[in-house]
Chains A and B, each alone.
Chain A
Amino acid sequence: METSELLQLAIAGLKNGSIYALLALGFTIVYAATNVINFAQGEFYMLGGMFAVLAFTQFELPLLVSVPLAVLVVAGIGMLFETLAIRPRKDAEPMALIIITVGGSLVFASLARHAFGSDALPLPEFTAGPSFLFAGAAIERQTVWIWGIVLVTVAGLTFLYSKTRLGRAMRACMQNREAARLMGIDTARVVMISFGLAAALGAVAGVAVTPLTSTRFDIGAGIAVKGFAAAILGGLGSPLAAVAGGLLLGLIEQAVIPFSSALKDVVALGVLLAVLFLRPQGLFRRARREKM
Chain B
Amino acid sequence: MLEVDAFVAGYGRIPVLHGVSLKAGAGQMITLVGANGAGKSTLLKAIAGVLPARSGRVILEGEDVTSVPVHRRVGKGVVLVPEGRMLFGAMSVDENLTLGAYLRTGGEARREAEAERERVFELFPILARRRTQPAGTLSGGEQQMLAVGRALMSDPKVLLLDEPSLGLAPKVISEIFAVLDRLREGGLTMVLVEQDARLALKHADYGYVMRTGSVALEGSSADLLANDDVRLIYLGAWHGRE
Contacts and interface: CB of A to CB of B under 8 A. Distances in A.
Is A bound to B?
A: yes
Interface of A: 165, 168-169, 171-172, 175-176, 178-187, 290-292
B1 interface: no
Contact of B71 (A165, A176, A187): A187
Interface centre among B71, B90, B105, by most A CB within 10 Å? Answer: B71
B154 A290 contact: no
A172 B50 contact: no
A182 B75 CA distance: 10
Nearest to B160: A182
Given A183-B74, A184-B71, A186-B71, A290 B90 contact: yes
B70 A182 contact: yes
A168 B98 contact: yes
Nearest to A162: B95
A178 B45 CA distance: 11
B98 A179 contact: no
B86 A165 contact: no
A172 B71 contact: no
Contacts of A182: 48, 50, 70-71, 74, 79-80, 82, 86
B86 A179 contact: yes
Nearest to A178: B86
B50 A178 contact: yes
A178 to B, nearest CB: 7
Interface string B102-145: 11010000000000000000000000000000000000000000
Nearest to B95: A168
B108 to A, nearest CB: 16
Contacts of B79: 182
A168 B99 contact: yes
A172 B48 CA distance: 19
27 contacts: A168-B99, A168-B102, A169-B99, A172-B91, A175-B88, A175-B91, A178-B50, A179-B87, A179-B88, A181-B50, A182-B50, A182-B70, A182-B71, A182-B80, A182-B86, A183-B103, A183-B150, A183-B154, A184-B72, A184-B75, A184-B102, A184-B154, A185-B71, A185-B99, A185-B102, A187-B71, A291-B90
Contacts, number: 63
Contacts of A292: 90
A184 B72 CA distance: 6
Contacts of A179: 82, 86-88
B195 to A, nearest CB: 21
B171 to A, nearest CB: 27
Nearest to B85: A179
- The interface residues of chain A, by DSSP majority, are classed as helix
B149 to A, nearest CB: 13
Interface of B: 48, 50, 70-72, 74-75, 79-80, 82, 86-91, 95, 98-100, 102-103, 105, 150, 154
A171 B88 contact: yes
B70 to A, nearest CB: 5
Contacts of B87: 179
A176 B102 contact: no
Contacts of B70: 181-182
B88 A176 contact: yes
A183 B82 CA distance: 11
Contacts of A165: 102, 105
B50 A169 contact: no
A172 B89 CA distance: 10
Contacts of A178: 50, 82, 86
B50 A183 contact: no
B135 to A, nearest CB: 10
Contacts of A185: 71, 99, 102
Contacts of B74: 182-184
B205 to A, nearest CB: 25
A254 B48 CA distance: 55
B44 to A, nearest CB: 12
A32 B154 CA distance: 25
A126 B154 CA distance: 48
Contact of A169 (B48, B100, B102, B154): B102
Contacts of A180: 99
Given A175-B88, A175-B90, 9 more contacts: A168-B95, A175-B89, A176-B86, A179-B88, A181-B50, A182-B70, A182-B86, A184-B72, A292-B90
A218 to B, nearest CB: 40
A147 B99 CA distance: 34
A171 B86 contact: no
B52 to A, nearest CB: 13
Contacts of B98: 168
Instruction: Give 8 nearest A-B pairs by CB, closest first.
Output: A184-B74, A179-B86, A184-B103, A183-B102, A181-B70, A183-B99, A175-B88, A184-B102
